[in-house]
């Protein structure tokens, strides 16, 4: 539920969130009235809470474990045993280029990878491989927008917002025959 700040007559968005734990570490799932706005992974809940506050500085953040527990459970189950898509209502926010990149990422099937350059060439808006990388880094919806499926032109793993180790593990879970080591 959003509230109005009567002093400034401004609508203040409420974002509810809860935590889970999986083999990749701590997970935070945050939900607006329109859907999931963030799926964050990290080593500690305090770090994840700070990351959420930084991403939504004007929102009222409410820890509501009971209210989001079912969604958290679905995310944790997906992280530990990924399937084709994580089917959740999403509240995706970003620039036009970010939105285009994220749509392209959601079209990559589980178990497959593509490169930053291939994504850039296929977009309906002009973008470079570096801009695709920046959009991946700005993604707040880990695994729901599968930026872990994007690799360097030589097939090696490059940066990942939540760490290259997590990216490698996610890819290996989706494609056991691939077993990335780099």
CATH code at 136? 1.10.10.10
Domain end point (choices 31, 54, 80): 80
Residues 41 and 107 reside in one and the same domain:
no
Angle subtended by helix axes 129-138 and 96-106, to nearest 10: 80
Query: Is 23 found in the same domain as 58?
Result: yes
Q: Is residue 70 included in any domain, yes or no?
A: yes
Q: Report pLDDT digits (tens) over 108-148.
A: 988 899 999 999 999 999 999 999 999 999 999 999 999 99
CATH, residue 21:
3.30.160.70
Q: Answer with the one of 52, 80, 108 that is the final residue of a domain.
A: 80
pTM as predicted: 0.88
The average pLDDT across 43-68 equals 97
User: Which residues is 157 bridged to in the sheet?
Assistant: none
Q: What is the C-alpha separation between 106 and 87, in angstroms, rounded?
A: 11
Give the other-Cβ count within 10 Å of 36's Cβ: 23
Which domain covers residue 108, as residue numbers?
96-174
Number of domains observed in the structure of the chain: 2
Tell me if residue 22 is catalytic.
no
Q: Which of 22, 83, 136, 147 is catalytic?
A: 147
Are 69 and 100 contained in the same domain? Answer: no
pLDDT of residue 101: 96
């Amino acid at each position: 539920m959003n509230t109005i700040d009567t002093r400034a007559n401004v609508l203040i968005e409420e974002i509810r969130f809860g935590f889970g734990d999986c083999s990749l570490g701590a997970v935070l799932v945050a939900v607006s009235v329109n859907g999931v706005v963030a799926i964050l992974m990290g080593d500690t809940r305090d770090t994840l809470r700070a990351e959420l506050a930084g991403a939504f500085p004007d929102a009222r953040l409410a820890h509501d474990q009971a209210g989001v527990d079912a969604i958290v459970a679905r995310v944790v189950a997906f992280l530990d045993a990924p399937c084709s898509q994580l089917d959740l209502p999403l509240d995706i926010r970003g620039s036009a280029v970010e939105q285009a990149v994220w749509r392209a990422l959601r079209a990559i099937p589980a178990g497959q990878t593509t490169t930053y350059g291939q994504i850039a060439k296929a977009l309906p808006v002009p973008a470079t491989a570096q801009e695709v990388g920046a959009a991946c880094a700005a993604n707040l919806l880990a695994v729901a927008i599968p930026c872990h499926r994007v690799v360097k032109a030589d097939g090696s793993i490059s940066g990942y917002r939540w760490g290259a180790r997590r990216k490698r593990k996610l890819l290996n879970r989706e494609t056991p025959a691939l077993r990335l080591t780099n």
